[in-house]
Structure 1
Amino acid sequence: MDSTNSETSKFANLAEFQRRTPPPEPLGRLLARAAERFGRRPHLTFLNRTWTFEQTHDLAGRLSAGLQAHGVGADDRVGVCLANLPHYPLACFALWGLGAAGVGMNPLYSLRQLSGIAVDSGVRWVVTSDHPASIGKLRELAAQVGCRLIVCRADAADLAGGPPPDLCDGEVALSDLLEAAPARGWGEPEVEALAMIQYTGGTTGAPKGAMLSHRNIWFAAHQIRNWLHRIRDGREAWYAAAPFSHITGLVNYIVEPAIVGGEAILTERFSPRELLELVRQGRLTILTAIPTMLSAIVAEPDAGELDWSGVIHVLVGGAPVPLELARRFHDLTGLWPQQGYAMTETSGSGVAMPSSAVPGHECATGLPMHDVPIEIRSVDDPGRRMGPGEPGEVCFGGPNVIASYWNRPLTDNELTPDGLFRSGDVGYLSEDGALYVVDRLKDVIICSGYNVYPRTIEDAVLEHPAVAETVAVGAPDDYRGETVLSVVTLRPGASLSLPELQDFLREKLSPIEMPKRLEILDAIPKTENAKLSRQAIRAMFSTAAPAPA
């Protein structure tokens, strides 16, 4: 979208989001520069301990030297299987300084998933913690695939002079690696060097390792920083709740604070009470969230009583933000959630909305960030560009888009003939350039031959005052092929029946979109990254509905 729109455009202020990104550099230089500019500013806070930029730069340099002494060098890959502990960003910057790459591994994954990632990426070392919920699994992993473990303390006491964790044979304490002097020549790999392998797509097939270069991540982080135009260098604080092993956590909580001298307040697991306490204290200024986090916030009885004026941006991604949820959040906090949309393959940047509602575009997914071409291509012919308002597959270009997966190139199913990345999502562009993502191609419900988009149904169902969260899926149906199943959780004290819901939706949905089944759960299953899990819902309700008499 052209940033020189006339003043009559709804997006006439877009230019303020479109500052140009500086030339890319190795990611290690971000921390080195932050240590110079913001040395004594808080960088990482965890369990009431805070490390300044000077301290984290020194620790990362020492960890880099310790890894080097154990044979880790340029082009090696090291697994990082940690919750949101301060050791995670230290490991990333230490590896990036060596020219080695991290491999993101979620400690909540099963042993089978972790083993698949470790074997595919060829890691020889994995950084993990002594947390009792994961250390046994990681030791089994090490025995299975022949890698070695670098173990840290789950309470981070080893970074504050405390004792090291208990080790088994062949394991190395991370604190022992910190005994080395900082590495020389730290932070000097080429910008095209591999920085991180992030695995994606594991719920729909074999996980694919997205190869993120220093250049990819640099551009993505600066694109997001430029879009969040109210950021003030040396003054911001993020509540780091999204997993570091996810692209959102990696870019927004590890790289972004190093660019602007901001504080990352780490938490192993999202807690709405913890977040509200940070708001109450005036410590939180930027919230990067997923819709389920917003749902949890609006469910807290005192959320609307707090002063939210210190929060300058609320960026929400990972899944579409239903309009009704955005309205509820705004009514309580005075803040409009900035819907964003990106993928691991786009390094976590892509499109986002301004920080206030745009009349007529309250349901839009976002506007393209600087240097992120977005085009809509025909699902049947990805070489054909669709016009404004015409739905098709959303396709990405730009310097933030990966060039390949690990161990295999991108295929024609993933690229258009002219090289844009195919998202697998259905969407359209408005006349004035706003992107509307309708749904995942694979999530489309086909009822009696008609395409039905779950998001349309979910947005309408969520408007019902009794509904707290909802997922719509296609359930097998002997007569229609598939029928719409609406799965909901209810707000405290509420009740709901299928006839009541259908009556409420009659003016909002067409007959083909109308839910024919309703299931009420105490909690909707979620993925390891806290997204509502359609896959789990489909597995729970896979029985076909009876045909009509």
Structure 2
Amino acid sequence: MSIYDEKVWLAQYSPAQRQPRTIEYDNALAMFDATVERNPDGDIIRYFDGRITARELDELSDAFAAGITDAGFRPGERVVIYAQNIPQFVIAQLGTWKAGGTAVSANPMYRARELEEILRDSGATVLVALQSLYKDVAENVVGSTGVRTVITTSELDFQSANSGTLAGAERVDCPGTIDLVTMLERFRETPVPPVDVGPDTVAFLTYTSGTTGPPKGAMTTHRNVAFNAQTYRDWIGIDADDVILGVAPLFHITGLVGHIALSLLTGAPLVLMYRMDPEATVETIQQQRVTFTVGSITVFIALMNSENSSREALQSLTKICSGGAPIPPSTLAAFEEKFGHYIHNIYGLTETTSPSHCVPFGTRAPVDELTGATSVGVPVYDTVVRIVDDNGNDLPPGEIGELVTAGPQVVAGYWNKPEATAKSIPNGVLHTGDVGYMDADGWFYIIDRKKDQINASGYKVWPREVEDVLYEHDAVREAAVVGVPDSYRGETVKAFVSLRPGSSATPEELIAFTKERLATYKCPREVEIIAEIPKTATGKLLRRELRTVPEP
């Protein structure tokens, strides 16, 4: 046994965790079927005043599968889901699997060019979209893609309260599309043809920004989903008596696995709120007696700063994980002082189907004295993580290098991108691109990224995409985008711009220009206009110098 194997297992603490686990289900549909059989009348989705039981979700997803099959969908095809955190997201996802398809989650903040890219790359034949997103964005792009069927839905369905984040919401007429609720009613009694869904069937395409070029669709298999749903359940101790709060976006791998898949596996109700709002979230936690959630640290900062937050309101929320962005030790301490609960750090990537590391429950993450970084925990079950140098050689504890991860949660590869798969996931082993180290006790720390990718509140932003948009502005001569520290978001996007001779543009104008063309989280929050962008002799941007440019 190498020092890595020994330290990894020692850091697990529990003898049970040192043994390879028996994976109970080889696909995500099988784990949901078991939940329906075990507790058919228990709530599995709560949405404001709406309730959906496991049996009803089974019937609704059957109807979705029957409906898209009737419209021409065939096993192996893809369905893009373009929506906020609503019950229809779960219904469409399950229904896609039952029809033998792959669900593709699209960020509801995507604008036209971003959505079109996902539709084209995935080759989707069905689009499920919120009515407002269809009218504002999707209607203008679906005609140029391979989408044959468009299904629209309203956030006002499956509830009647019209409160919280739904206040002021209105239905939108979408001619030429299929209304989801109408389709479900029509096909509620229609049998679903059996399909072959196995462990290696692709359950999701979850898009992640690559090091160059367009986003890549990570092929998350049913085996990946079932394994990490069980990881969440066993590591944290989730069962049907828990209540899961869906604060992470469902389009994100954390929401897909740490919310949806975990609920489907355990039968614990998943509470959805359309969009995260701090005041409404505090009320929901108290009313629903929420016990578990996982989200970006910005969520928990927002809860601390909410006017209606109190120790009493969050009393039930005893199981908390946070990942996707660095967690300052001071934030952990402040949250625990206010609410009495410790936030357990968790780490993973889209390519690891959410967690590859987590702080064991009942323990506290150590803090690196030199960098002040909070440990992201230790590898989860059946997972071996190595720290390697640029030549792929193992480094001893304390030495900084790239994290390389092997385990049942590592995805099968990137959709239609064999070269990218061979580069980043050779032989099924993920080269994360994240830089860190393992200490002498087996704890892992992330201290930097190998590339220039920006991590803003857990959302990944690739600078070149933002730069390309800035170059579309007539006044922009050169542009360079970097991530800069932000006390709330971990990192935020900053752009440096030089202008064409004789042209003029204000920082505010350039920020507004990007907001018309990109999801909000990708847009610069600050633009600095400078005379020249620093470059190497060969013309390569020197982003490192820009990160240290003094304020004018």
TM-score, normalised on structure 2?
A: 0.77
How far apart, CA to CA, are the structure 2 residues paired with 1:386 and 1:359?
A: 22
**Partner residue in 1 for 2:144:** 144
**Partner residue in 2 for 1:75:** 76
> Cα distance, 1:308 vs. partner?
3.4
Equivalent position to 1:267, from 263, 267, 273: 273
C-alpha deviations, 1:265-301, integer Å up to 9, x for none? 1122111112211333352110211011111112124
**Partner residue in 2 for 1:373:** 384
C-alpha deviations, 1:328-365, integer Å up to 9, x for none? 11111111111111111111121011234537458211
C-alpha deviations, 1:477-522, integer Å up to 9, x for none? 9xxxxxxxxxxxxxxxxxxxxxxxxxxxxxxxxxxxxxxxxxxxxx
SS of equivalent residue, structure 2 residue 80? strand
> Cα distance, 1:96 vs. partner?
0.8
**Partner residue in 2 for 1:100:** 101
- 2:48–2:159 Cα contact (<8 Å) kept: no
How far apart, CA to CA, are the structure 1 residues paired with 2:398 and 2:157?
A: 52
- 2:79–2:126 Cα contact (<8 Å) kept: yes
Q: Does 1:209 align with 2:209?
A: no
Q: Does 1:440 align with 2:449?
A: yes
**Partner residue in 1 for 2:47:** 46
Equivalent position to 2:306, from 300, 303, 306: 300
Q: Give the partner amino acid of 2:199.
A: V
How far apart, CA to CA, are the structure 2 residues paired with 1:297 and 1:528?
A: 27
Structure-2 change in CA distance of 1:330 and 1:72 (3 Å): same
How far apart, CA to CA, are the structure 2 residues paired with 1:541 and 1:390?
A: 39
> Cα distance, 1:258 vs. partner?
0.9
Gaps of 5+ in 1: 446-453, 463-467, 478-524
How far apart, CA to CA, are the structure 1 residues paired with 2:337 and 2:143?
A: 53
- 2:8–2:379 Cα contact (<8 Å) kept: no
C-alpha deviations, 1:434-480, integer Å up to 9, x for none? 111112122499xxxxxxxx99x96xx96xxxxx6664889989xxx
TM-score, normalised on structure 1?
A: 0.77
Q: Does 1:358 align with 2:346?
A: no
How far apart, CA to CA, are the structure 2 residues paired with 1:444 and 1:127?
A: 30
How many pairs were matched up? Answer: 471
Structure-2 change in CA distance of 1:475 and 1:530 (3 Å): closer
Q: Give the partner amino acid of 2:283.
A: E
Q: Give the partner amino acid of 1:425.
A: D
**Partner residue in 2 for 1:481:** none
SS of equivalent residue, structure 2 residue 64? helix
Equivalent position to 1:536, from 499, 524, 537: 524
Structure-2 change in CA distance of 1:407 and 1:333 (3 Å): same
How far apart, CA to CA, are the structure 2 residues paired with 1:369 and 1:322?
A: 22
SS of equivalent residue, structure 1 residue 393? strand
How far apart, CA to CA, are the structure 2 residues paired with 1:339 and 1:23?
A: 26
**Partner residue in 1 for 2:175:** 168
Q: Does 1:289 align with 2:295?
A: yes
**Partner residue in 1 for 2:29:** 28
Alignment of 1:77-92 (within 5 A): 77-92=78-93
Structure-2 change in CA distance of 1:65 and 1:165 (3 Å): farther
Structure-2 change in CA distance of 1:153 and 1:304 (3 Å): closer
How far apart, CA to CA, are the structure 2 residues paired with 1:396 and 1:318?
A: 17
Structure-2 change in CA distance of 1:377 and 1:408 (3 Å): same
Mean alpha-carbon deviation: is it higher for 535-544 or for 388-397?
535-544
Q: Give the partner amino acid of 1:536.
A: P
Equivalent position to 2:339, from 326, 333, 336: 333
SS of equivalent residue, structure 2 residue 137? helix
SS of equivalent residue, structure 2 residue 283? helix
**Partner residue in 2 for 1:512:** none
How far apart, CA to CA, are the structure 2 residues paired with 1:381 and 1:538?
A: 38
> Cα distance, 1:322 vs. partner?
1.2
> Cα distance, 1:174 vs. partner?
1.8
Q: Give the partner amino acid of 1:114.
A: L
How far apart, CA to CA, are the structure 1 residues paired with 2:113 and 2:228?
A: 31
Structure-2 change in CA distance of 1:90 and 1:474 (3 Å): closer
**Partner residue in 1 for 2:512:** none
> Cα distance, 1:29 vs. partner?
2.1
How far apart, CA to CA, are the structure 1 residues paired with 2:395 and 2:526?
A: 32
Q: Give the partner amino acid of 1:239.
A: L
- 1:107–1:134 Cα contact (<8 Å) kept: no
Q: Give the partner amino acid of 1:265.
A: V
RMSD: 3.5
**Partner residue in 2 for 1:183:** 191
- 2:199–2:222 Cα contact (<8 Å) kept: yes
- 1:26–1:187 Cα contact (<8 Å) kept: no
Structure-2 change in CA distance of 1:168 and 1:429 (3 Å): same
Equivalent position to 1:196, from 204, 208, 218: 204
Structure-2 change in CA distance of 1:414 and 1:295 (3 Å): same
How far apart, CA to CA, are the structure 2 residues paired with 1:33 and 1:10?
A: 33
> Cα distance, 1:242 vs. partner?
1.6
SS of equivalent residue, structure 1 residue 298? helix
C-alpha deviations, 1:10-51, integer Å up to 9, x for none? 753474697824243232222222111121111111231111
Q: Report sequence identity in percent.
A: 26
- 1:4–1:12 Cα contact (<8 Å) kept: no
**Partner residue in 2 for 1:405:** 414
Structure-2 change in CA distance of 1:165 and 1:271 (3 Å): closer
Q: Does 1:218 align with 2:226?
A: yes
Gaps of 5+ in 2: 162-169, 369-373, 455-481, 498-514, 534-545
How far apart, CA to CA, are the structure 2 residues paired with 1:89 and 1:62?
A: 13
Structure-2 change in CA distance of 1:476 and 1:137 (3 Å): closer
Structure-2 change in CA distance of 1:211 and 1:289 (3 Å): same
Q: Does 1:227 align with 2:215?
A: no
- 1:292–1:530 Cα contact (<8 Å) kept: no
C-alpha deviations, 1:167-204, integer Å up to 9, x for none? 423x2222343222343455741221111111111696
SS of equivalent residue, structure 2 residue 524? helix
Q: Give the partner amino acid of 1:211.
A: M
SS of equivalent residue, structure 2 residue 62? helix
Q: Give the partner amino acid of 1:374.
A: V
